[in-house]
Amino acid sequence: DGKKSLFSGMQATGNLTLGNYLGALNNWLTLNEEYECFYCVVDLHSITVRQDPAELRKRARALLTLYIAAGLDPVKNCIYYQSHVSGHAELSWILNCFTYMGELNRMTQFKDKAAKHSDNINAGLFTYPVLMAADILLFQSDVVPVGVDQKQHLEITRDIAERFNSIYGDVFTIPEPYIGKVGAKIMSLQEPSKKMSKSDENVNASIYLMDDPDTVIRKFKRAVTDSDNQIIYSDDKPGIKNLIDIYSLTNNKTVEEVVKEFDGKGYGDFKMAVGEAVASVLKPIQTRVAELNKDKAYVDSIIKTNAEKANYYATKTLRKVQKKVGF
Ligand code: ADP
Ligand code: NA
């Protein structure tokens, strides 16, 4: 139909956090009403860094399962593996021939990754942004939800698409960043000046979506706050501010309502309440994960059907591109 399309790629590295959920995933659940949504587990990107094959397969499956469990309807959203749609690799090759070394040399993420994986600075790591451009352009994506660290990659995607279009005519839709409703940025429970991140090495800094209730409550009890014991929403109190944000989002209450509810109460009570609220948001997700893990045939069929759907759209774009370049 005439819906605009939205693409998001996700790496199966690390475990999803409450930040990923409240800041991203939870806001995506109804986007399919407005957009044709593609959520791709980008396993081709993953092998730019050495992976244990069994582990990669397991984590990719766990991520896809968690997305479904968190409420992304796998019939209304195309949730699939990149490696199941060969168009990603094929378009990536073509786009490589329309991307300059100089452009790729300017990518800050390559420099960071090269420094981190200095024993394996492979060509895939260097051309990673071209594969990402292919991911997005393959679905004629109109919008892409991107974090700050991915802005540069969306820019190069637009540059490559514009370059290609200027030579061959209107082939690709030029994607825009998706500006969703402003979700709160969830901060680390141990260093509230930093965002909560799945790559944080301190496991107490993040709530993972698969954390059990005891773990969730323990982590909130240990959350770094301040010593004045007053529940006030202020930049001077980043730890408490973060907990108020979390409580407000998980209870669908405004910040003012939360502050009023805990007026005169101490941090101990408040942390307990936040922990319980978060545990109860995670519980149905975890129950659903367990159900999905038992129903292997169902998940397999979702994976297969969605790969077919993604292939359908991908092939349409790819044929168009192949013809333009002379294949
Ligand atoms: P991470 O730092 O956990 O690896 P990513 O950079 O992969 O997260 O981001 C995945 C998605 O989750 C993005 O849409 C990003 O904006 C969102 N996100 C990540 N961390 C947070 C956070 N702490 N608060 C709100 N949203 C977040
Ligand atoms: Na589109």
**pLDDT digit string, tens, across residues 284-308:** 999 999 999 999 999 999 999 999 9
> 77: helix, coil or strand?
strand
* Ligand 1: nearest atom to the Cα of 10: 7
* Ligand 1: nearest atom to the Cα of 206: 23
Of all protein residues, the one whose alpha carbon is nearest to atom 22 of ligand 1 is 19
Whether pLDDT at 17 is above 90: yes
Whether pLDDT at 183 is above 80: no
Any catalytic annotation for residue 271?
no
pLDDT at residue 121, as a whole number: 94
Q: Residue 255, exposed/middle/buried by CB under 10 A (0-12, 13-18, 19+)?
A: middle
Whether pLDDT at 264 is above 80: yes
Catalytic residue of the set 195, 219, 237, 241? 195
Rounded mean pLDDT of 171-181? Answer: 89
pLDDT at residue 299, as a whole number: 98
- Any atom of ligand 1 within 6 Å of the Cβ of 23: yes
pLDDT averaged over every residue in the chain: 95
Residue among 11, 13, 16, 20 whose CB has most ligand 1 atoms within 8 A, to mutate:
20
Rounded mean pLDDT of 67-93? Answer: 98
Residue 147 Cα to ligand 2 middle (Å):
21
Catalytic residue of the set 76, 198, 253, 320? 198
Rounded mean pLDDT of 120-127? Answer: 95
Q: How many CA atoms lie within 13 A of 180 on its CB side?
A: 21
Contact in structure between 95 and 130 (CB atoms under 8 Å): yes
Predicted confidence band at 89 (pLDDT cuts at 50, 70, 90)?
very high
Any catalytic annotation for residue 4?
no
CA distances from 197 to 26, 98, 216, 227, 302 (A): 16, 34, 16, 25, 29
Residue 173 Cα to ligand 2 middle (Å):
6
- Any atom of ligand 1 within 6 Å of the Cβ of 20: yes
Residue with tokens 């367990």: 290
pLDDT at residue 148, as a whole number: 67
Q: Closest-lying ligand to the alpha carbon of 313?
A: 2
* Ligand 1: nearest atom to the Cα of 146: 14
pLDDT at residue 152, as a whole number: 86
Whether pLDDT at 248 is above 90: yes
pLDDT at residue 326, as a whole number: 98
pLDDT at residue 1, as a whole number: 62
Spell out a b/e string for 164-191, using b for 16 or more CB atoms within 10 Å of the CB, else e: beeeeeebbbebeebeeeebbebbbbbe
Cα–Cα distance between 231 and 229 in angstroms, integer?
7
- Any atom of ligand 1 within 6 Å of the Cβ of 19: yes
Residue 196 labelled as part of a binding site: yes
pLDDT at residue 151, as a whole number: 82
Residue 175 Cα to ligand 2 middle (Å):
9
Q: Closest-lying ligand to the alpha carbon of 173?
A: 2
Q: Where in the chain is the domain with CATH 1.10.240.10?
A: 203-290
Measured on CA atoms in the order 47, 49, 51, 57, is the torsion positive or negative? negative
Residue 7 Cα to ligand 2 middle (Å):
10
Any catalytic annotation for residue 237?
no
* 292, amino acid identity: L
Predicted confidence band at 184 (pLDDT cuts at 50, 70, 90)?
confident
Residue 147 labelled as part of a binding site: yes
Q: Residue 160 — φ and ψ, nearest 5°?
A: -65, -45
- Any atom of ligand 1 within 6 Å of the Cβ of 26: no
Rounded mean pLDDT of 250-274? Answer: 96
Predicted confidence band at 202 (pLDDT cuts at 50, 70, 90)?
very high
- Any atom of ligand 1 within 6 Å of the Cβ of 196: yes
Q: Closest-lying ligand to the alpha carbon of 198?
A: 1
CATH of domain 4-179+296-325: 3.40.50.620
Cα–Cα distance between 37 and 274 in angstroms, integer?
32
Rounded mean pLDDT of 176-201? Answer: 88
Angle at 181 between CA 178 and CA 183, to 5 degrees: 105
Residue 150 labelled as part of a binding site: no
| Stretch among 85-94, 178-187, 246-255 having the lowest mean pLDDT | 178-187
CATH of domain 203-290: 1.10.240.10
* Ligand 1: nearest atom to the Cα of 147: 16
Residue with tokens 């895939």: 124
Q: Where in the chain is the domain with CATH 3.40.50.620?
A: 4-179+296-325
pLDDT at residue 14, as a whole number: 75
